[in-house]
Amino acid sequence: MFSHCVAPTLVLRGQGVWPKAIEVIRRLGHHPLVLGRGAPTRPIRSQLLATFQRAGLSPRPVELRHDCCEEDLERIRLEAVGGTAAASPDSVIAIGGGKVLDAGKLLAHRLEVPCVTVPTSAATCAGWTALSNLYTPEGAFLGDVALERCPDLLVFDHDLVRQAPPRTLVSGMADAMAKWYEASISSGQSTDGLVRQAVQQARLLRDLMLLEGPAALERPGSEAWVRVAEGAALTAGVIGGLGGARCRTVAAHAVHNGLTQLSATHSLLHGEKVGFGLLVQLRLEEVVGGNRLASQARQQLLAFFGALGVPRTLEELGLAGATLPDLQRVCHHACADSSDLHHLPFPVTVHDLLAALVSTATQTQPVA
């Protein structure tokens, strides 16, 4: 028997869909806990809170102080259950980027109330998935937590998402593209029908990013922008839902997790680190796995990422002053026994990964 959390119970997507979302949220309860973080999304959250109040709801706004971490989650949970029963939250509404959405999903799971995710960018597919990534208060990746279900409602309002900086869409594109390169090598030979469909969907998603990504960045709100933004934030989640645990992240995300151990990378977005990790994975496939096609794929991505501004060098990662022990720390974390890096079809040592990381960061020009 296989268990899949494929999709949110309801997805509202399109321009100006928020008023429709209010109707659905009201059916979930009248005392939502509204979770956000930081100044960039505060104006949007203030606007949405006003619509709650006009609709007769009694929202309780709370803010994360860090990334999705146990210390923040426990603080908010205790605050939420510390009042009267009548004032206890009957839903959690997470408004923001991936780490806020992850925190909202995990908090709703622990409070045993419905969850609503409202992405304010297309930087990740966190609004879709039944998974939360946990970090330390300082921003270092600890691990992920599988949840019992996807969100009860996902609101992907184009008007909200279009306000995000272009950099967030670039991050989402890099993260979405990694689905193909990771799923194909970990699950490309699977005989499971759903997994095979998920892998092929990942290929189509990669092609969409390559073909329409530049146009989407040039014309926010255009049809190309809609397809790319929804591909990064929604379709990427579909792939994980259909493929489940057998359609895994591999080395690109493992390198991301390793990079978060260094504070100098904490200003980078998730997809920016994943994109660099994808170049490292392809280098591993080429040098350690002996796959010549990986070299061609890497050359293509070097040019594409260079045009988009996805980090390809240690300097662009904020690691120009990184020491050998720093890079070894990244590699040791990425090669831990529990790491998804080991879903590669060949063994990889810390030394192998260090060599691939360093050579990736110094070979940024595609071969003519």
Task: Quick: pLDDT tens for 32-68.
Answer: 999 999 999 999 999 999 999 999 999 999 999 999 9
Sign (positive or negative) of CA dihedral 243, 245, 249, 253: positive
Model confidence at 268: pLDDT above 50: yes
- Active-site residue among 67, 152, 256, 333? 256
Look at residue 88 in the predicted model and tell me its pLDDT: 85
Given the residues 175, 333, 340, 352, the one annotated as active site: 175
Band of the pLDDT at 4, cuts 50, 70, 90? confident
Average confidence (pLDDT) over 154-176 = 98
352 as an active site residue: the answer is no
The answer to whether 253 is a known catalytic residue is yes
Q: With 70 as the cut, is the pLDDT of residue 367 above it?
A: no
Give the pLDDT confidence score for residue 83 in this predicted structure: 57
Active-site residue 175, yes or no? yes
Q: With the C-alpha atoms ordered 120, 122, 128, 129, is the resulting torsion angle positive or negative?
A: negative
Give the 3-state DSSP-derived string for 67-129, with helices as H, strands as E and coil as C.
Answer: CCCHHHHHHHHHHHHCCCHHHCCCEEEEEECHHHHHHHHHHHHHHCCCEEEEECCCCCCCCCC
Q: What was the pLDDT predicted at 364? A: 63
Q: What is the mean pLDDT of residues 249-260?
A: 97
Residues 12, 155: Cα–Cα separation, whole Å: 5
pLDDT of residue 311: 96
Mean pLDDT, the chain, integer: 94
CA dihedral sign, ordered 103, 108, 109, 115? negative
287 close to 356: Cβ distance less than 8 angstroms: yes
72, 158, 253, 340: which one is catalytic?
Answer: 253
Task: Look at residue 130 in the predicted model and tell me its pLDDT.
Answer: 97
Structure token digits, residue 49: 């809170």
From the list 72, 270, 333, 352, the catalytic residue is: 270
- For residue 13, pLDDT over 90 is answered with yes
pLDDT at residue number 363: 65
Secondary structure (3-state) at 368: coil
Q: Is position 90 annotated as part of the catalytic site?
A: no
pLDDT at 86: 53
* Percentage of the residues of the chain whose pLDDT score is greater than 90: 92
Whether the predicted pLDDT of 366 surpasses 80: no
pLDDT at 368 over 50: no
Structure confidence by residue, pLDDT tens digits, 201-248: 999 999 999 999 999 999 999 999 999 999 999 999 999 999 987 787
Tens of pLDDT, residues 270-291: 999 999 999 999 999 999 999 9
Q: What is the pLDDT of residue 40?
A: 92
Structure confidence at residue 103 (pLDDT): 98
Q: What is the largest CA-CA distance in the chain?
A: 68
